[in-house]
Structure formats: structure tokens, C-alpha cells
Structure 1
């Protein structure tokens, strides 16, 4: 019987993992698989908002206490958004490690047939193995970025250039992808005696992958075919593991306006505003849940948006929306009050906005969820990466898919974005909205969106990967029983 298979999901407490893994839970539930999500109390609302009311009685949510105080974090600091300072990132990861015993208790108590845990729980492989439960790894990134970062780790090409700005080609990676040292994550350039805490965590993640049953990737085969083949044949099969491509997971969720946290804007109001605009005439600007910008940079963004003459929706992550002193004088009157733009202070219903025909471009930090949501909606991207694997994603969007224009960021930063002038933003917006490249990019983006939808339909690539994964897990479950 379908209901005999029991999957337990353990997402890392950050929006980039909580939301797609909640979408994944919906997908498993839709296939008749008993599904449980483990999280901490303050992250339950995000999960409930994503799985939706129609499935909340079918998908079980279990909570474990997050050891904020025990690790030295402020009380209530239970996800990456709530980390008050970059200096506390390693402290947050220390708290994450303390979740090992509570997870093992739940695994022992509920005995799922499989554990799907975020990559940032490297110890989960050991816990699952100890209890003879297969563990699948979820990275939350695309396979191109996984391949690129692994090739950089293995072959260290950045050590063969004389300066931080000298370009190099990533060895063995298809596509002749060019990078500089400045674009690499700081932890990718540190080894040996200079090893950092984060470097050690990444090494543990690599070791835990080797001990896992395989990988689940939020992507679809046709989007990253060359890199999926490279990943499977060159990086996984030699280790006796495999990957399943079951995305875009956002398309598994039909309730586009409810994913994640409670939106800071009325859904009806934003749709009404978009309905009043012509097709492909609005720029959507959002930099995810972690990236921050100085007031000076925010002011440059405002000026660039205004000077471009484009209509826009701009999502601003600031805790105090009454503090608008950084906005250019008269900006709101000249733009938002006259219907040229909308500022959303906080959380936006991103998929709902991107899917609207009025949206013609997306200014994005190139987080994988945002990138894949734009691909699924057929929206070209103006790329503004900040940290993590986002510079790899930028290369994928601009060089491989050719559906994006770089705004010109030259340096990786842990959280705070690079300095881009209003003039640079204005020029990039002109290219992507009305320049000679705009229409060809839009056409390519629309074709990719059609491919994304097809991948999830019956007998599409993601549908078949998901079917094969469930069959695989059922066969393991039968042996366990």
C-alpha cells in the first residue's frame, strides 16, 4: 500500500531550505507517501504557510527545541534570518550540531523508512546509519553550482593566478566557466593551517555525503543536463551514489501566494496593481531573506530604479519601515504615489508576482530558489549575487542559459552586497527591459518555463525521477520490514 512508506524531512532552519523542503513534503504527500517534517517551534509557521491548509492534517510536523541559549545565541534565534550578526554564524552552526540527539530520539521513536536532511546537518548521516535508516542529502542548490564548487575544491585553480582579479577557467567543468578569486566564497580559498570553522563544516558535509544514500536536487534534468550528467558520472557514481532531480519544487505548490512567511502586502492589492500594467513592463526587485545592503546602496538602487524610467516592485528587507531617511527626497511621491512603483517592506509573495505577465525582469541575488522560480515563470534576470554559491548561479544564468544580464558585482561578500552605482543599475535595466538583447532573452526564458512545467507532468523527467525515487525507497522499506 502507498501509505506504508514513511519519509521524514529535516530542513535546515533557513528560508532557502524550509520552503523547498515543505514543497517536497507536499509532493510526497500527493503521491500517497506518509510524510513528517521535523523543525523548531519558531519555524513551524513558515512550514504551515507553505504546505497549506488542505494538506496540513496529512503532513505531520514534529518540533525539537532549538538550543539558542545553550549555544550562546539570543533567545528566539532559530533561523538564519534571525542571526543578529555575521560573527554569530559559527555559533548558530554550533547550535545546529546540538540537534543531533533530539533528532536521533525522533528517528528511534518514529522509525521512518528514509531521512531526507539538509546538507548542513552533516551528522545526520551518522545518526541515520546508526539506526539503519537511509539518509538522502538535500543541498538546496542547483547541480551546476555543485559541480563548479566541487571542481574548484578538487583542482584549486585560484592558486594558479597572480592576483585576485586575474581570470581563470574552472578545470574539468563543461562550458569554460571563467571566474576570479574575488568571486569565490572566502571558505573556498582557505585550507591547511588557515582552515576556518566554516571550512571544517563544509569538509564534514562532504564526508557525510559519502556516507549518504544519495542526493535530491531541486532542479529538472533538461535545465542542467550537461551538468547533471557530469555530476552523476564523474562525481557520484564513482562513489556508488546517485542523484534524483525532482524540481522545480515550487511548481508542486499551487498556492502561489502563501509560501513561506506571511506576506507584508495584500495579495489582492498587488495583483490589482500588476493587472493594470502592460505585459513585460514591470521590474521585480528582491534580494532574498539574508542579503543586506547599506543605506547608501539602497539609495543608489532607488535612484537607479527611478532614473531607468521602468515600473517596479521593490522588496526591501528592513525591520523599521518607518525609517525611510535613506530614500532620495521625494522618491515615494514621484514613483509609488504616481503608480510607477510599489515598495514591499518585508516578505513578498514572490512566485505569485513572478508568474504575472506584467513582470518582464527580476533583479535578484541569484539564490537558487529565486533563480529557479524565475526560470519556472519565464522571467529574465538581472543578476546581483552577494554570497554563498550565488556567483556560480550568476554564471549559469548569464553564460549558460543566456537569460540574464549581470549588474556588475565584482566581489563575494558574506552578507552585505557589493557597491553598485545607480548608473550601472540603470544601464543594466535598459539592457534587460528594452535593449536589443531583451526579446531574445525573453524568448529563451519562456521556452525554459515550458520545459519546467513539462518536467513535472506525467512522464516528464522530474515526475519520472520522483517515481523512481519512491520505488527505490519502497524497495528498501520492504527489506527493513
Structure 2
């Protein structure tokens, strides 16, 4: 661990969204467990989402330096947001509030600068969506590491699009194309990429943030990636050799949550979640499908009805997490018909506990990277239903490269639910039957999923690829600190 004077003071600054905060908290735990003096920076309304995990880590660890939480005020009033609207999921209307939210986040520049000047860190790890933190950290002489929240494959796919511009030579009548220059043959549909000519107005600030983030990529010290080498070795090497990026794979970071209390604290654990776990205890091993679409994905009532019918018609027991959807969409008599065979969770669910339950044998996911990697670490085959962001790239990783995914049939990149074509019940039913069914193809997916689970476990153990890469990063930062002292 090194002598006391070598302890690194590291500030973690996650973006204000559940899918960004959770892995960064886990990453902070990993650094702290290797002797770093860690502080997590957030705002008052976000502290209840972070503090329980920090307190649990501090109370159960034997490490001499506890993780600290430092709060800065969120300027809701300055941009016209309601008090306490400090988290992406707290926005009541994406179309009217997301631009204000982005503006408020940018106004944190000065408070962030004051924190760096007062507390003097050796390094800042900040979210990809907080690119201005590079400029502030650089002004204070502090190296900034990017947390991107995705994987090597998606980064390589984006680079292929920007480097080779395959759409520019694609005839208008053709829909599919192959991403050039990648280690595998990766075919996409034109519709699965964001159409920059049809960007909804409230997304313009987000596009500007991404542009700024890419501008400071090469200037930052490097990137920490929530992945492991054995999962995507060709793309870890492609990223290093072709993209020229300094990156350290340190995941799956969620595997630092081995105790049940840690796993339940990552996604809620209310009454319905507890009832779900008791219900799973009574099911046969590998018999239950779990379906969840993350913390901010929404659907139309028509789509929800199709989902309900698809799950019912599949003939397999299921747990389905639905958030903020009301009850109007539920087909008449549906809950009575699925009683004993299916569970609807209409609040936060203890996802890690569910995914790792012996009764769960498959996972339908939106292909967000946190969920995808949690499914991989749990050893599950997956039904893939991407919606936007890099999720269509992640689908190709799961299906084409890893061989553990089955496409449900979502083929249009769209942020607003009403802009997406409805995926029919029969398509979901067919995908669930393929994921959960018998036969050589299904068994091979399950075998491969179990193999990846074991690789993930070994990667984070002492001597594993992720354990070693984190050690290399810490040593580089210590050397840089010594140079600055001299």
C-alpha cells in the first residue's frame, strides 16, 4: 500500500445520474481499498444516493482512511429549476428542463475550483459529461482522469464512424453498413445511429457537452474503464494502438459489492423488492426472466401493453421492473392472470441481488453498460433492446462479439418514446423463448455466459487483470506526485 506520505488524495466527481454515480462510487471504493485518500464530490440532494454506500464501506472496511463526502450547492434557482432538482431522474419534463439542468451543472465550475484550491488533491476522476473539470483541474496543476461509463468496444465503434465516415458513401437506398477497421465484422443499420439532422432541441446542450468532452480527451491524464481485459481484448488493444488512448480497465467495479447489504443498496430494496426475492427463492434454478430498462428509460402506453403481452405469452416466469409508468396501460385482468408467474416492480429494485439469484436465468436489458456488465458478471444470457446513446453498439458487443445476446427487435435510435416504432409482443415473446429455452444455440449462450462470469470474477481478484491495471494506475499517479513534490 505504500508509506503514509505516498497516500494519494483523489477526488471523484460523478455526473448526477444513477447510472453514472453507482459505478463511480464503486470505483472510489476500489481506490480507497488500495490505500488512496478518497473524497466524493456531489450536491445536497444527491448525497442520500451516495452516503449509505459510503457509510457501509467505511463501517465494514479495515482501511485507515475513510471515504469522505464533500457537498457543493446546486444552482437550481439560478437557472429556474425547482428546489432539489439536482438529479437527471428528478427532471419532470425532459423537453423543458434538460437544457436548464445542463446550464446548472456548468455553473458548478467556480465551486469546483474552490474545492480544488482548498483541499488540494493529487488527482481528479470526473465524469465524461463534466468536461469543464479538465480546464479547472489543469489551472490548478492537477491531473484529470476521465470516467466514461462505457467500454472499449463502443469507443472503437465511435472512432470507426468518425475516422472512416461509412455513411457518407452509403447509397440512400441501403440501410445496413459495416463499421470499417474493427477486429470483428460489425454491421449496423442507419436507423440505429443518431440522425444529427433530426436532433430534438433539448438535446443540443448535450451534444455540445459531448463535443467539448472529446476535445479534452487527449489532454486528460487518461481514462478509467469499467470493463475487464478478457471481455474485449481485441478492443482494448485497438483502443491503445489505433485510437492512441491511455486507459486502464478496472472492472467490473460492481463486484466490489459482495455483501448482500452492499448489493441491495445499489438499486433500492423496498417492500416490493424484498417480496420479489422471497418469490424467487421458491422458483426453480434458471427458470425466471428478469426485464429492466435502467433508471431513465421511458415507454409509451402502447409499447408497455405489447411488453406485457409478450412476457405473458412467452410462458416463462418473469420479474419486470417498470418505473414511473402509472397503471393505465396495464391490460385488463393482466395482474390476475400473471399472479404466481410474474412480478411487476414499480419502484427501485435490488438489481444485483436479482441478477445473481439462482432462480434467474436470463435478462432483457436496454444495453446500458452498467446493466450489461452486471448481467455479464452474473453469468446471464441477455435479450437486447437498445434505445439510444451507445446502447446499439453494446448490443453488437453482446450479440456478435460475446455471443450471449439475442436481439428483441429495437432498431431505431430515439430518445423520446413516441419516436420509436413499437416492438410487437410476438417479437419479445420470441426473444424470451430463445434466451430461456432449450436447444444447442441456447445452451451455447449459457455456457459462454458462465465462462465470462468466471473471467469477470478472476479479473478483480488479487493478481487479476483489472486488479493489476488499477495497481499500475495508482503507481503512475504516485510517481507523478513525487515528480511534482521534487
Check whether TM > 0.5.
yes
Q: Does 1:77 find its partner at 2:85?
A: yes
Counterpart residue number, 1:333: 336
The equivalences for 1:33-432 within 5 A come to 33-55=36-58, 58-87=66-95, 88-163=97-172, 166-187=175-196, 196-237=204-245, 242-255=246-259, 256-265=262-271, 268-318=274-324, 323-336=326-339, 339-416=340-417, 418-432=421-435
**Structure 1 residue 52 displacement after superposition:** 4.7
Unaligned runs of 5+ in 2: 60-64
Deviation at residue 261 of structure 1 after TM alignment: 4.9
- CA distance in structure 2 between the aligned counterparts of 1:248 and 1:209, rounded to whole angstroms: 23
TM-score by length of 2: 0.92
Q: How far is 1:296 from its partner?
A: 1.1
How many residue pairs get matched? 468
Match of 1:478 in 2: 482
Whether the 8 Å CA contact 1:183–1:412 is kept in 2: the answer is yes
1:60-91 CA-to-partner distances (Å, cap 9, x unmatched) read 00111112221233332211112222323333
Report the Cα distance in structure 1 between the residues aligned to 2:70 and 2:217, rounded to whole angstroms: 25
Distance 1:58 1:452 in 2: 27
User: What SS class does the counterpart of residue 229 from structure 2 fall into?
Assistant: coil
Contact 2:320 2:343 in 1 (8 A): yes
Match of 1:440 in 2: 444
Distance in 2 separating the partners of 1:49 and 1:261: 12
Q: Distance in 2 between matches of 1:261 and 1:405?
A: 25
1:112-141 CA distance string (max 9 Å, x none): 100000011111111111111000000000
Q: Which moved more, 1:370-379 or 1:73-82?
A: 73-82
Partners of 1:451 and 1:90 lie apart in 2 by: 41
Instruction: Give the secondary-structure state (helix, strand or coil) at the position aligned to 1:234.
Output: helix
Indicate the SS of the match to 1:162: coil
Q: How far did residue 392 of structure 1 move?
A: 0.3
Kept in 2, the 8 Å contact 1:27–1:252? The answer is yes
Residue 234 to residue 259, structure 1, CA distance change in 2 (3 Å): farther
Q: Distance in 1 between matches of 2:165 and 2:81?
A: 35
Distance 2:401 2:320 in 1: 27
Alignment partner of 2:56: what SS?
Answer: coil
Deviations 1:247-287 (A, max 9, x none): 00000122443333533345543322111111110000100
State whether residues 386 and 418 of structure 1, in contact with CA within 8 Å, keep that contact through their aligned partners in structure 2.
no
Helix, strand or coil for the counterpart of 1:445? helix
Partner of residue 463, structure 1: 467
Residue 26 of structure 1: SS of its match in structure 2? Answer: helix
With 66-75 and 369-378 compared, the bigger mean Cα shift is at: 66-75
Whole-angstrom CA distance in 2 between matches of 1:95 and 1:434: 48
Q: Is the contact made by 2:264 and 2:352 (CA closer than 8 Å) also made in structure 1? A: no
Distance 2:197 2:125 in 1: 26
2:19 equivalent in structure 1: 16
Verify the 8 A CA contact 1:170 1:178 in the aligned structure 2: yes
Cα gap change, 1:418/1:354 in structure 2, threshold over 3 Å: closer, same or farther? farther
Distance 2:437 2:381 in 1: 12
Measured on the aligned residues, the alpha-carbon RMSD in Å equals: 1.9
Quote the Cα distance in structure 2 between the aligned partners of 1:298 and 1:264: 23
Spell out, residue by residue over 1:316-367, the C-alpha distance to the aligned partner (whole angstroms, 9 max, x if none). 1116xxx42311111111113xx11111112111111101121111010000
Following TM superposition, by how much is the alpha carbon of 1:196 offset from its aligned partner in structure 2, in angstroms? Answer: 4.2
Are the equivalent residues in 1 in contact too, given 2:127–2:147 (CA < 8 A)?
yes
How far apart are the structure 1 equivalents of 2:34 and 2:173? 49
In 1: Cα distance, 2:31 partner to 2:400 partner: 34
Q: Hey, what's the Cα distance between the residues in 1 that align with 2:172 and 2:87?
A: 36
Q: 1:66 to 1:316 in 2, by over 3 A?
A: same
Note if contact 2:267-2:351 (Cα within 8 Å) is conserved in structure 1.
Answer: no
